[in-house]
Amino acid sequence: MKTAIKLFGTSILDGGRASVAVCPVMIDASHPLYSVNDVFNAVMVKGNMVGTVMFYGSGAGKLPTASAVVADIMEIAVNTDRNIPIGWTEEKLSVTPMEERTCRYFIRFAGDAGERRQEIEAAFGPVEIISIDGMDEFAVLTGPMKEGKYAKISAAFDGIRQRIRAELAR
């Protein structure tokens, strides 16, 4: 199945806390945001009454960017003496620490997947192997894990990866 890596900005409200992130996300061709390319942007919103809706349109490139900048400058110039309410409340939400955010991780490795699978799964748990014939590298997709756990495992595993790279370079 075809996949693409897109830069996503996400926010999720859960239990009075906001979980926010901007990061690359791998999606497959069945995802509605898969076909958003070039100067187009899209926003997907999931509401409790409306369900999932998507707003799509030109939002990048020199003309849309210039239009947005000019509109913002005009708004500021017209309203120099007052604050413009934007519909948010003054209630402050706590932000979930990044270490508590749960994701799956896409990690590239040098070498042969068959030879390294046991070592990788010992560190990261069960993984999905992604490989391309004729390449001396492969990738894995981990199961869901918290960012903090991933960071600790990755840091410990980094020394092992550097040692293997050095051995492969000989």
pTM over 0.85: no
Give the model's pLDDT for residue 92. 77
Q: Are residues 6 and 71 in the same domain?
A: yes
Domain ranges, residue 75 = 1-96
CATH number at residue 102: 3.30.1370
68 and 104 in one domain?
A: no
Residue type, 45: V
Q: What is the pLDDT along the chain (170 residues), one digit of tens a residue?
A: 788 999 999 988 888 888 889 989 889 999 999 999 988 889 999 888 899 999 998 877 788 788 888 888 888 888 888 877 666 667 777 888 999 999 999 998 888 898 989 989 999 999 999 887 888 899 999 999 999 999 998 888 777 667 766 777 77
Domain end call among 45, 65, 96: 96
Residues 92 and 160 in one domain: no
**12 forms bridges with which residues in the sheet?**
19
Q: How far is CA 70 from CA 16, 39, 77, 84, 104, in A?
A: 36, 18, 10, 17, 40
The total number of structural domains in the chain stands at 2
Claim to verify: residue 148 and residue 103 sit in the same structural domain: yes
Residues 60, 8, single domain; the answer is: yes
